[in-house]
Protein backbone atom coordinates (compact mmCIF):
# COMPACT_ATOMS: atom_id res chain seq x y z
CA UNK A 1 0.00 0.00 0.00
CA UNK A 2 1.49 3.31 -1.02
CA UNK A 3 1.83 6.24 1.37
CA UNK A 4 0.37 9.49 0.08
CA UNK A 5 2.09 12.84 0.36
CA UNK A 6 0.29 16.14 0.96
CA UNK A 7 0.90 17.83 -2.37
CA UNK A 8 1.22 21.60 -2.69
CA UNK A 9 -1.84 23.09 -4.36
CA UNK A 10 -3.44 26.36 -5.36
CA UNK A 11 -7.06 27.32 -5.92
CA UNK A 12 -8.62 29.98 -8.15
CA UNK A 13 -12.23 30.81 -8.91
CA UNK A 14 -15.41 30.57 -6.83
CA UNK A 15 -15.21 28.06 -3.98
CA UNK A 16 -18.83 27.00 -4.56
CA UNK A 17 -18.45 26.36 -8.32
CA UNK A 18 -17.92 22.85 -9.78
CA UNK A 19 -14.31 21.80 -9.21
CA UNK A 20 -11.79 21.11 -11.95
CA UNK A 21 -8.50 19.44 -10.99
CA UNK A 22 -5.48 20.19 -13.23
CA UNK A 23 -2.54 17.75 -13.16
CA UNK A 24 0.93 18.67 -14.45
CA UNK A 25 3.34 16.80 -16.71
CA UNK A 26 6.78 15.42 -15.91
CA UNK A 27 9.21 18.28 -15.20
CA UNK A 28 6.51 20.93 -14.82
CA UNK A 29 4.72 22.46 -11.86
CA UNK A 30 1.28 23.93 -11.35
CA UNK A 31 2.31 27.12 -13.17
CA UNK A 32 2.11 25.25 -16.49
CA UNK A 33 -1.67 25.81 -16.26
CA UNK A 34 -1.35 29.60 -15.96
CA UNK A 35 -2.75 30.10 -19.50
CA UNK A 36 -5.90 28.20 -18.46
CA UNK A 37 -6.63 29.89 -15.13
CA UNK A 38 -8.41 33.07 -16.26
CA UNK A 39 -10.66 31.22 -18.72
CA UNK A 40 -11.56 28.37 -16.37
CA UNK A 41 -11.87 30.27 -13.09
CA UNK A 42 -14.81 32.32 -14.36
CA UNK A 43 -17.02 29.26 -14.01
CA UNK A 44 -15.03 26.68 -12.10
CA UNK A 45 -13.22 26.16 -8.82
CA UNK A 46 -9.81 25.55 -10.36
CA UNK A 47 -7.56 23.33 -8.26
CA UNK A 48 -3.97 22.95 -9.45
CA UNK A 49 -1.22 21.07 -7.69
CA UNK A 50 2.41 20.04 -8.04
CA UNK A 51 2.68 16.29 -8.49
CA UNK A 52 4.94 14.60 -5.91
CA UNK A 53 8.61 15.25 -6.64
CA UNK A 54 7.74 18.46 -8.51
CA UNK A 55 7.42 22.15 -7.68
CA UNK A 56 6.76 22.75 -3.98
CA UNK A 57 5.39 19.29 -3.22
CA UNK A 58 7.26 16.77 -1.06
CA UNK A 59 9.96 14.76 -2.82
CA UNK A 60 9.89 11.18 -1.52
CA UNK A 61 13.04 9.22 -2.43
CA UNK A 62 12.91 6.21 -4.74
CA UNK A 63 10.75 5.07 -7.60
CA UNK A 64 7.17 6.30 -7.87
CA UNK A 65 4.27 4.31 -9.28
CA UNK A 66 1.23 5.73 -11.01
CA UNK A 67 -0.82 4.45 -8.04
CA UNK A 68 1.19 6.80 -5.79
CA UNK A 69 0.43 9.78 -8.01
CA UNK A 70 -3.25 8.82 -8.23
CA UNK A 71 -3.60 8.35 -4.48
CA UNK A 72 -1.93 11.74 -3.84
CA UNK A 73 -4.62 13.34 -6.03
CA UNK A 74 -7.40 11.55 -4.13
CA UNK A 75 -5.86 12.64 -0.84
CA UNK A 76 -5.84 16.25 -2.07
CA UNK A 77 -9.53 16.03 -3.05
CA UNK A 78 -10.28 14.56 0.40
CA UNK A 79 -8.34 17.31 2.17
CA UNK A 80 -10.27 19.95 0.21
CA UNK A 81 -13.62 18.26 0.80
CA UNK A 82 -14.19 17.77 -2.93
CA UNK A 83 -16.34 14.68 -3.51
CA UNK A 84 -16.27 14.87 -7.31
CA UNK A 85 -14.30 16.96 -9.78
CA UNK A 86 -13.70 17.34 -13.47
CA UNK A 87 -10.14 16.14 -14.07
CA UNK A 88 -7.77 17.46 -16.73
CA UNK A 89 -4.19 16.29 -17.09
CA UNK A 90 -1.37 16.58 -19.59
CA UNK A 91 1.11 13.80 -20.32
CA UNK A 92 2.07 12.26 -16.95
CA UNK A 93 -0.83 14.34 -15.58
CA UNK A 94 -3.08 12.68 -18.15
CA UNK A 95 -1.86 9.25 -17.03
CA UNK A 96 -2.75 10.17 -13.44
CA UNK A 97 -6.13 11.46 -14.64
CA UNK A 98 -6.83 8.15 -16.45
CA UNK A 99 -5.81 6.24 -13.30
CA UNK A 100 -8.29 8.32 -11.26
CA UNK A 101 -11.10 7.78 -13.76
CA UNK A 102 -10.47 4.02 -13.79
CA UNK A 103 -9.78 3.46 -10.08
CA UNK A 104 -11.97 6.12 -8.44
CA UNK A 105 -14.71 6.64 -11.03
CA UNK A 106 -17.08 8.09 -8.44
CA UNK A 107 -14.68 11.02 -7.89
CA UNK A 108 -14.38 11.98 -11.57
CA UNK A 109 -17.05 13.93 -13.38
CA UNK A 110 -15.65 14.71 -16.84
CA UNK A 111 -12.19 13.79 -18.07
CA UNK A 112 -9.95 15.84 -20.37
CA UNK A 113 -6.66 14.28 -21.47
CA UNK A 114 -3.96 16.24 -23.28
CA UNK A 115 -0.94 14.79 -25.05
CA UNK A 116 -0.78 11.58 -23.13
CA UNK A 117 -0.43 7.85 -23.55
CA UNK A 118 -1.66 4.60 -22.02
CA UNK A 119 1.74 2.96 -22.63
CA UNK A 120 4.82 5.10 -23.20
CA UNK A 121 7.89 3.01 -23.89
CA UNK A 122 10.51 1.99 -24.27
CA UNK A 123 11.07 1.41 -20.52
CA UNK A 124 14.88 1.65 -20.96
CA UNK A 125 14.51 5.25 -22.17
CA UNK A 126 12.85 6.25 -18.89
CA UNK A 127 15.47 4.43 -16.84
CA UNK A 128 18.16 6.20 -18.86
CA UNK A 129 16.52 9.62 -18.40
CA UNK A 130 16.24 8.98 -14.65
CA UNK A 131 19.95 8.10 -14.52
CA UNK A 132 20.83 11.25 -16.48
CA UNK A 133 19.01 13.58 -14.07
CA UNK A 134 20.32 11.73 -11.02
CA UNK A 135 23.90 12.27 -12.20
CA UNK A 136 23.63 15.58 -14.05
CA UNK A 137 20.59 17.31 -12.57
CA UNK A 138 17.36 18.21 -14.35
CA UNK A 139 19.10 21.03 -16.24
CA UNK A 140 20.84 18.27 -18.22
CA UNK A 141 17.57 17.32 -19.96
CA UNK A 142 15.92 20.75 -20.13
CA UNK A 143 16.96 21.67 -23.69
CA UNK A 144 15.92 18.35 -25.20
CA UNK A 145 12.64 18.24 -23.33
CA UNK A 146 11.66 21.79 -24.30
CA UNK A 147 12.43 20.96 -27.94
CA UNK A 148 9.62 18.38 -27.65
CA UNK A 149 7.28 20.55 -25.55
CA UNK A 150 6.89 23.36 -28.11
CA UNK A 151 7.43 23.76 -31.83
CA UNK A 152 10.62 25.40 -33.14
CA UNK A 153 9.06 28.81 -33.77
CA UNK A 154 7.78 29.27 -30.20
CA UNK A 155 9.16 32.50 -28.65
CA UNK A 156 12.65 32.01 -27.17
CA UNK A 157 11.83 33.88 -23.93
CA UNK A 158 9.00 31.44 -23.19
CA UNK A 159 11.20 28.47 -24.08
CA UNK A 160 13.75 29.76 -21.58
CA UNK A 161 11.03 30.02 -18.93
CA UNK A 162 10.12 26.37 -19.59
CA UNK A 163 13.76 25.26 -19.40
CA UNK A 164 14.04 27.01 -16.03
CA UNK A 165 10.91 25.26 -14.76
CA UNK A 166 12.39 21.88 -15.68
CA UNK A 167 15.79 22.75 -14.20
CA UNK A 168 14.08 23.79 -10.95
CA UNK A 169 12.54 20.32 -10.58
CA UNK A 170 14.26 18.17 -7.96
CA UNK A 171 16.27 15.42 -9.74
CA UNK A 172 15.14 12.84 -7.17
CA UNK A 173 11.51 13.74 -7.84
CA UNK A 174 11.99 13.82 -11.61
CA UNK A 175 13.71 10.42 -11.57
CA UNK A 176 10.98 9.02 -9.32
CA UNK A 177 8.34 10.17 -11.81
CA UNK A 178 10.30 8.66 -14.74
CA UNK A 179 9.92 5.33 -12.94
CA UNK A 180 6.15 5.85 -12.79
CA UNK A 181 6.06 6.23 -16.59
CA UNK A 182 8.46 3.30 -17.04
CA UNK A 183 6.11 1.04 -15.05
CA UNK A 184 2.84 2.41 -16.41
CA UNK A 185 0.46 0.41 -18.59
CA UNK A 186 -3.08 1.73 -18.53
CA UNK A 187 -4.37 -0.13 -21.59
CA UNK A 188 -6.58 -2.53 -19.60
CA UNK A 189 -7.84 0.27 -17.36
CA UNK A 190 -9.26 2.32 -20.22
CA UNK A 191 -12.34 0.15 -20.69
CA UNK A 192 -13.30 0.81 -17.04
CA UNK A 193 -13.54 4.56 -17.64
CA UNK A 194 -17.13 5.76 -17.76
CA UNK A 195 -16.59 9.54 -17.43
CA UNK A 196 -17.41 11.56 -20.55
CA UNK A 197 -13.93 11.99 -22.03
CA UNK A 198 -12.17 14.34 -24.41
CA UNK A 199 -8.73 13.33 -25.63
CA UNK A 200 -6.56 16.00 -27.28
CA UNK A 201 -3.26 15.50 -29.11
CA UNK A 202 -0.79 18.02 -30.46
CA UNK A 203 -0.38 17.60 -34.23
CA UNK A 204 3.40 18.11 -33.90
CA UNK A 205 3.96 16.27 -30.61
CA UNK A 206 7.04 14.02 -30.89
CA UNK A 207 6.68 12.71 -27.30
CA UNK A 208 3.10 11.38 -27.47
CA UNK A 209 2.18 11.63 -31.17
CA UNK A 210 -1.54 11.75 -32.08
CA UNK A 211 -1.72 7.95 -32.47
CA UNK A 212 -1.39 7.60 -28.68
CA UNK A 213 -4.39 9.85 -28.03
CA UNK A 214 -6.38 8.23 -30.82
CA UNK A 215 -5.81 4.79 -29.24
CA UNK A 216 -6.95 6.08 -25.83
CA UNK A 217 -10.11 7.62 -27.30
CA UNK A 218 -10.87 4.41 -29.21
CA UNK A 219 -10.70 2.39 -25.98
CA UNK A 220 -12.91 4.66 -23.83
CA UNK A 221 -16.61 4.33 -24.61
CA UNK A 222 -17.97 7.49 -26.23
CA UNK A 223 -14.70 9.44 -25.99
CA UNK A 224 -14.09 12.32 -28.40
CA UNK A 225 -10.69 12.88 -30.01
CA UNK A 226 -9.28 16.19 -31.26
CA UNK A 227 -5.92 17.24 -32.68
CA UNK A 228 -4.58 20.74 -32.02
CA UNK A 229 -2.72 22.25 -34.99
CA UNK A 230 0.66 23.95 -34.49
CA UNK A 231 1.13 22.33 -31.10
CA UNK A 232 3.84 20.02 -29.79
CA UNK A 233 3.72 18.23 -26.39
CA UNK A 234 2.81 21.12 -24.08
CA UNK A 235 -0.21 21.93 -26.20
CA UNK A 236 -2.15 23.72 -23.45
CA UNK A 237 0.74 26.18 -23.18
CA UNK A 238 1.55 26.58 -26.86
CA UNK A 239 -2.05 26.79 -28.12
CA UNK A 240 -3.73 28.03 -24.97
CA UNK A 241 -6.77 29.70 -26.57
CA UNK A 242 -7.69 26.68 -28.67
CA UNK A 243 -7.01 24.36 -25.72
CA UNK A 244 -9.20 26.47 -23.43
CA UNK A 245 -12.06 26.36 -25.93
CA UNK A 246 -11.84 22.57 -26.04
CA UNK A 247 -11.69 22.25 -22.25
CA UNK A 248 -14.68 24.54 -21.73
CA UNK A 249 -16.69 22.73 -24.40
CA UNK A 250 -15.89 19.39 -22.77
CA UNK A 251 -16.80 20.55 -19.27
CA UNK A 252 -19.95 22.42 -20.30
CA UNK A 253 -21.29 19.88 -22.76
O1 LIG B 1 9.32 14.78 -21.03
C2 LIG B 1 8.96 14.27 -22.08
O3 LIG B 1 9.78 13.85 -22.91
C4 LIG B 1 7.52 14.11 -22.41
C5 LIG B 1 6.73 13.55 -21.33
C6 LIG B 1 6.39 12.26 -21.16
C7 LIG B 1 5.57 12.15 -19.97
C8 LIG B 1 5.48 13.55 -19.54
O9 LIG B 1 4.84 13.99 -18.58
O10 LIG B 1 6.21 14.33 -20.35
Mean pLDDT of the chain: 98
Q: How far is the CA of 2 from the centre of ligand 1 (A)?
A: 23
The complex's ipTM works out to 0.95
Residue nearest to atom 10 of ligand 1 (CA): 26
* Average pLDDT estimate for 158-168: 98
Q: For residue 59, is it within any domain?
A: yes
* Average pLDDT estimate for 92-103: 99
**Three-class DSSP category at 248:** helix
Rounded CA gap, 236 and 136, in Å?
29
pLDDT at 152 over 70: yes
CATH of the domain at 57: 3.40.50.1820
Q: For residue 4, is it within any domain?
A: no
Q: For residue 140, is it within any domain?
A: yes
Q: How far is the CA of 81 from the centre of ligand 1 (A)?
A: 30
Q: Which atom of ligand 1 is nearest to the CA of 207?
A: 4
Residue-wise pLDDT for 187-218, tens only, equals 999 999 999 999 999 999 999 999 999 999 99
Residue 98 pLDDT grade (very low, low, confident, very high; cuts 50, 70, 90): very high
φ, ψ dihedrals at 113, nearest 5°: -120, 120
pLDDT at 2 over 90: no
pLDDT at 230 over 70: yes
Cα angle 213, 236, 132; round to 5: 75
Q: What burial letters (b/e) apply to 68-80, b meaning 16+ CB within 10 Å?
A: bbbbbbbebbeeb
Residue-wise pLDDT for 27-82, tens only, equals 999 999 999 999 999 999 999 999 999 999 999 999 999 999 999 999 999 999 99
> Which structural domain range is residue 190 located in?
9-252
Q: How many domains does the chain contain in total?
A: 1
Give the pLDDT confidence score for residue 1 in this predicted structure.
57
Give the pLDDT confidence score for residue 49 in this predicted structure.
99
Amino acid sequence: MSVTVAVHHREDGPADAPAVLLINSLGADLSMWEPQVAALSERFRVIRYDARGHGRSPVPPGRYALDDLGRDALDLLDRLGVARAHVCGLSLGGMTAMWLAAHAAERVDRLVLFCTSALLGPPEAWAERAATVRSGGTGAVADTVVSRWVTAGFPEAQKQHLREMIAATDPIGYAGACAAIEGMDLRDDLRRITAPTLVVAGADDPATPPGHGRAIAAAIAGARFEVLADAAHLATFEQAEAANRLILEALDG
